Chains A and B, each alone.
Chain A
Amino acid sequence: MRTFEIKSPVYIKSGFTVVGPKEGDGNFGDCFDIVLKDDLWCEKSYEKCESKMHRDAITGAIKKAGLQKEDIDILIGGDLLNELSSTSLAARNFPTAFLGLYNACSTFGESMIVGAMLISGGYANTVTCSTSSHFSSAERQYRFPLELGNQRPPTAQWTVTGAGCTVLSAEKPKLINEQVYDDDIIAIDDSMNLDPKDVEKYKKSIEKQKGLINKDKSNIIEDNFHKEMNDYIKTNSHCVKVTGGTIGRVIDLGIDDEANMGAAMAPAACETILTHFKESGRDPGYYDGIFTGDLGRFGKETLQYLLSKEGITLPDYYMDTGASYYTPEQKTFQGGSGAGCVNTAFNGYILKRMQRGELKRVLIVPTGALLNKDTPLQKETIPGIAHAFTLESENFL
């Protein structure tokens, strides 16, 4: 039995996202808390920038939940870099227990499942689930140098530059206005014994970003989006709880093209969704929001084809966060991928919709392709994995 139900309630206290400029121009552009103006964020390398984004996503989420660093019991998170370097480097800023996880792009699903289980089992009271990815650091690790003049194949996906964090807690969240002020984020840096010059630079970069946070986006492509999405003044009318999930199995159907990860991940997503419906006795109509991680446009079609062969039709509102992440004009071909993709789409878009009561019952299936740079060279095929977790929103009153 891979499907489980969370017995004692686990609430989502807050979600916080930091993304790069390209993501800010994408379809979810209005939904993010911080959109960076450049993808180095005053740092010397992309890895340092990713770690900083990760750190600030965690700190932002803790602030947004109205908590202090000391109130968190366990940090749970991961990223795509070797030995989880950006997560570990971010975690050294917190006086908290840390669990590092890796399941490629589905790490966010894994961390939510682990976090919810820990709280439900009574082993922790408040945990943070965070992941991050950065286009430039992932390119260098998995593919070629940025300036190399090669062509990306049409099945390629674009690693999302973004970090997000969700705070899970056994306590019900309070009815609060969800805005985090920029001052809060600057205050974070003061406590970290940084060089005064760096703090100055940091403040300046925040100043520049102020204008970007509430940027108006009128030409949104997908129908699923609502313009008032990021109306910060609105208070949340609902609170969201994690109700259960299905832990994925590693599935390998022999795809060996590392530029076609959607096809490698789709069978795993299909298997997890089938198992979830079978073991929970539910059908797709039970949920009013079904989201997969980062299958991309072709992977989404493949998943729908695989499920239709098993006699399951996903409803019209089914959405792949990777496929919907960027606009077609951004030339990412299949859309977004990476550990930050489903995470920032969830914390920025899905969670906010649930908190407004627009979505009641949601199934989220983050997917991951499990490869490193050497396995395809050693003629290995690419296995995929997908974890599912379910959320429900309930009215505060």
Chain B
Amino acid sequence: MIDRIEYQKYVSDNQPKSPMVRTLIAAFIVGGIICCIGEGIGDILKLIFKDMSEKDVATWESCIMIFLGSFFTALGLYDKLGHYAGGGSIIPITGFANSVTSPAMEYNREGVFFGICAKMFVIAGPIIVFGVTASFIVGFIGYFVV
């Protein structure tokens, strides 16, 4: 039988690889379009509510994008976009919404408590933990330095 190291080299040299150029271009275009939609929503909000502060506009914009991400996940369309765009649809906030909504949909058969609620953050959990920890550290430093 073949040597272990030689076999691993054979596999890594010969296994089919992702088409780099196509996936990068697809991710760039789709990610860009999602961000443009977000910016567009922000601009429309500014037009409708003229005296809304910049900060409130950004918050509402995020809320609407999260809603859209979850909505298209529920319709079963966001995963199809993800197969095509990869990182382009994972990185924006809609991708985060997708990573929370999809396990919630998947595990609703195990009931509300141990299904949806327990499993909702299976994928998004690490992001939330790191986000909270990072903001705590930055806030701590900011409090004493500034």
Is A140 a contact partner of B106 (Cβ separation < 8 A)? yes
Is B90 a contact partner of A302 (Cβ separation < 8 A)? no
Is B98 a contact partner of A44 (Cβ separation < 8 A)? no
Contacts of B99 in A (CB 8 A): 148
Contacts of B89 in A (CB 8 A): 149
Q: With both chains docked as a complex, state the minimum distance between the C-beta of B113 and any C-beta of chain A, in angstroms.
A: 17
Q: Which of A149, A151, A271, A301 contacts B98 (CB 8 A)?
A: A149
Q: Which of A45, A148, A153, A305 contacts B10 (CB 8 A)?
A: A305
Q: With both chains docked as a complex, state the minimum distance between the C-beta of B125 and any C-beta of chain A, in angstroms.
A: 13
State the interface size on chain A (CB cutoff 8 A).
34
Contact pattern, A 25-61, Cβ under 8 Å of B = 1, otherwise 0: 0000000000000000000110000000000000000
Contact pattern, A 114-134, Cβ under 8 Å of B = 1, otherwise 0: 000000000000000000000
Is B98 a contact partner of A253 (Cβ separation < 8 A)? no
Is A271 a contact partner of B15 (Cβ separation < 8 A)? no
Q: Kindly state whether residue A146 has any CB partner on chain B within 8 Å.
A: yes
Q: With both chains docked as a complex, state the minimum distance between the C-beta of A265 and any C-beta of chain B, in angstroms.
A: 12
Contacts of B76 in A (CB 8 A): 147
Binds A, one of B16-24, B57-65, B134-142: B16-24
Q: Kindly state whether residue B8 has any CB partner on chain A within 8 Å.
A: yes
Interface residues of B in 1-57 (CB under 8 A from A): 1-2, 4, 7-8, 10-11, 14-18, 23
Q: Kindly state whether residue A255 has any CB partner on chain B within 8 Å.
A: yes
Bound-state CA distance A99–B73 (Å) is 41
Q: With both chains docked as a complex, state the minimum distance between the C-beta of B21 and any C-beta of chain A, in angstroms.
A: 14
Q: Kindly state whether residue A309 has any CB partner on chain B within 8 Å.
A: yes
State the interface size on chain B (CB cutoff 8 A).
38
Is B123 a contact partner of A302 (Cβ separation < 8 A)? no
Contact pattern, B 53-91, Cβ under 8 Å of A = 1, otherwise 0: 000000000000000000001101011111101100110
Is A145 a contact partner of B10 (Cβ separation < 8 A)? no
Closest A residue to B75 by beta carbon equals A147
Is B10 a contact partner of A267 (Cβ separation < 8 A)? no
Q: With both chains docked as a complex, state the minimum distance between the C-beta of A346 and any C-beta of chain B, in angstroms.
A: 27
Closest B residue to A253 by beta carbon equals B7
Q: A45-B109, A254-B8, A309-B2 in contact; A153/B18 too (CB < 8 A)?
A: yes
Is A151 a contact partner of B23 (Cβ separation < 8 A)? yes
Q: Kindly state whether residue A152 has any CB partner on chain B within 8 Å.
A: yes
Is A146 a contact partner of B79 (Cβ separation < 8 A)? yes
Is A298 a contact partner of B14 (Cβ separation < 8 A)? yes
Is B1 a contact partner of A301 (Cβ separation < 8 A)? no
In this complex, the member of B14, B73, B106 whose beta carbon has the largest number of chain A beta carbons within 10 angstroms is B106
Contact pattern, B 108-119, Cβ under 8 Å of A = 1, otherwise 0: 010000000000
Q: Tell me the total A-B contact number using a CB cutoff of 8 A.
A: 97
Bound-state CA distance A301–B83 (Å) is 26
Contacts of A267 in B (CB 8 A): 1-2, 7
Is B98 a contact partner of A302 (Cβ separation < 8 A)? no
Interface residues of A in 242-262 (CB under 8 A from B): 251, 253-255, 260
Q: Kindly state whether residue A160 has any CB partner on chain B within 8 Å.
A: no
Contacts of A302 in B (CB 8 A): 10-11, 14
Q: A140-B106, A302-B10 in contact; A253/B15 too (CB < 8 A)?
A: no
Is B8 a contact partner of A255 (Cβ separation < 8 A)? yes
Is A253 a contact partner of B4 (Cβ separation < 8 A)? yes
Is B7 a contact partner of A149 (Cβ separation < 8 A)? no
Bound-state CA distance A149–B72 (Å) is 11
Q: With both chains docked as a complex, state the minimum distance between the C-beta of A139 and any C-beta of chain B, in angstroms.
A: 9
Contacts of A376 in B (CB 8 A): none
Q: A140-B106, A147-B102, A151-B23 in contact; A298/B16 too (CB < 8 A)?
A: yes
Contacts of A150 in B (CB 8 A): 79, 82, 86, 90
Is A263 a contact partner of B17 (Cβ separation < 8 A)? no
Which residues does B use to contact A, with CB under 8 Å?
A: 1-2, 4, 7-8, 10-11, 14-18, 23, 73-74, 76, 78-83, 85-86, 89-90, 95, 98-99, 101-103, 105-107, 109, 122-123
Contacts A147-B106, A151-B82, A260-B11 given; 10 further ones with Cβ under 8 A?
A45-B109, A146-B105, A149-B95, A150-B90, A151-B23, A253-B7, A255-B8, A263-B11, A310-B1, A333-B16
